[in-house]
Amino acid sequence: MSVSLVTVLGATGSIGVSTLDVISRHPERYSVYALTGHSRMEALQAQCLAHRPRYAVVANSDQAQALQARLRDARCETEVLVGCDALEQVASAAEVDVVMAAIVGGAGLRPTLAAVRAGKRVLLANKEALVMSGALFMQAVKDSGAVLLPIDSEHNAIFQCLPSDFARGMSNVGVRRILLTASGGPFRDMCGADLVSVTPEQACAHPNWSMGQKISVDSASMMNKGLELIEASWLFDVRPSQIEIVIHPQSVVHSLVDYVDGSVIAQLGNPDMRTPIAYALAWPERIDSGVSPLDLLSVARLDFRPPDPQMFPCLRLARQAAEAGGTACAVLNAANEVAVEAFLARRIGFTDIPVIIEHTLECMAPESVQDLEHILLTDRHAREHAQNWLNSHF
Ligand code: NDP
Ligand code: MG
């Protein structure tokens, strides 16, 4: 068996750490080519010493000098590179077989797209990249022959429940609709008025999953499910109206596909991202992920209920942006990133998040997408709009 060379974009994050855990269980299959980090330099250093990648990529030259010196002292030959061009370089280098795209937010778009354009096996965790650039991203996958495998647990589940020729079109393979499950986040059982005073700590305390801060807040506001609706519509070429969101508090059924004959196929498992990561690394084979077997008897019950649109306006905003198309989803994503950051910095309240997003969407009418530069420009403008509005109102 030949060894696959893997680049992990966002190695120091939650998905990055889980990816390295799975990789380290299979040294005969995977070797690390590059690791990237942004602020957690000690973690990146430890990862370099453990995995001995050819390259590490950091955000600025001060970080690079310090890390390079420490690695040299430890007799580690990893070369430290800097900045977004270097991220693109390690995502698209000829030697690389697999790229885990696990940078959070719009910052991941360029390197993820570079991996796609270079025709890599791309393991997509960075949903914001696809939400921002939808049609352009999927066209690049087609043009380059990249193998795109979803890491988001719901999309990985749907991928597992679809037939292998699903690209022929959902109606051609007998799919009626997709049921996207959602834990509902930490505030699923609260009433609307209580949401006004929730703190970043409460928002980040997810009941079932351990994740980075941004996606944790998105889960609490259910914008995560909104972004996932958009992500699913691009990955599987389905209309947003064919995707139903179902609250499933146990996070054991990771999503379902409803077929025209009445069959509903689901994927189940413990809520641990190493399962989708191992699946995507080895596909079409299966490898050990380190995840313990699902004990259905201790889970005992599986509940399902509809989301409350009053409590979670982000769901409506995401659906509207998905229906509007063009640049609307890039605007939605940018405004959400600004709002989440402001919430985490305690500048705004939790219920202000959808207000800022809605205002930004109203200010920026959707345009049809021309190219990547157009998307990046839209992203910048939407961030400025959201930030200016935030500065003048809070
Ligand atoms: P984390 O915040 O834990 O990690 C984010 C990673 O991106 C870190 O390595 C971080 O570096 C790096 N990073 C942050 N900002 C930048 C930047 N401007 N430029 C380059 N790198 C940057 O997030 P998660 O691992 O939780 O999530 C990663 C992605 O995966 C997100 O898009 C999320 O939506 C998606 N995802 C995550 C799931 C999960 O269970 N965690 C589930 C499904 C999807 P550093 O830490 O060094 O600052
Ligand atoms: Mg998910």
Both tokens assigned to 164: 């292998």
Q: Is ligand 1 within 6 A of the CB of residue 104?
A: yes
How far is the centre of ligand 1, averaged over its atoms, from the C-alpha of 102 (Å)?
5
Which amino acid type is present at position 238? V
Q: Show the 3-state SS of 316-334.
A: HHHHHHHHHCCCHHHHHHH
How far is the centre of ligand 2, averaged over its atoms, from the C-alpha of 219 (Å)?
9
pLDDT at 209: 83
CB atoms within 5 A of ion ligand 2 belong to: 152-154
How far is the centre of ligand 2, averaged over its atoms, from the C-alpha of 274 (Å)?
13
Residues in CB range of 73: below 8 A, 6 or more apart: none
Residues in CB range of 248: below 8 A, 6 or more apart: 181, 182, 183, 302, 303, 304
| Tens-level pLDDT at each residue, the chain (394 residues) | 789 999 999 999 999 999 999 999 999 999 999 999 999 999 999 999 999 999 999 999 999 999 999 999 999 999 999 999 999 999 999 999 999 999 999 999 999 999 999 999 999 999 999 999 999 999 999 999 999 999 999 999 999 999 999 999 999 999 999 999 999 999 999 988 899 999 999 999 988 888 999 999 999 999 999 999 999 999 999 999 999 999 999 999 999 999 999 999 999 999 999 999 999 999 999 999 999 999 999 999 999 999 999 999 999 999 999 999 999 999 999 999 999 999 999 999 999 999 999 999 999 999 999 999 999 999 999 999 999 999 999 9
Q: Cα separation of 217 and 230, whole Å?
A: 18
Cα within 13 Å of Cα(166), Cβ side: 20
Model-wide pTM > 0.95: yes
Q: Is ligand 1 within 6 A of the CB of residue 37?
A: yes
Q: Is ligand 1 within 6 A of the CB of residue 259?
A: no
Q: Cα separation of 220 and 248, whole Å?
A: 14
Q: Domains, the chain, ranges and CATH? A: 4-151 (3.40.50.720), 155-270+292-310 (no CATH), 325-394 (1.10.1740.10)
Q: Is ligand 1 within 6 A of the CB of residue 110?
A: no
Give CA separation, 150 vs 44, 273, 283, 393, in Å.
Answer: 25, 12, 11, 38
pLDDT at 206: 87
- The strand pairing partners of 32, in sequence order, are 6
Render pLDDT for 29-50 as a digit per residue (tens, 0 to 9).
999 999 999 999 999 999 999 9
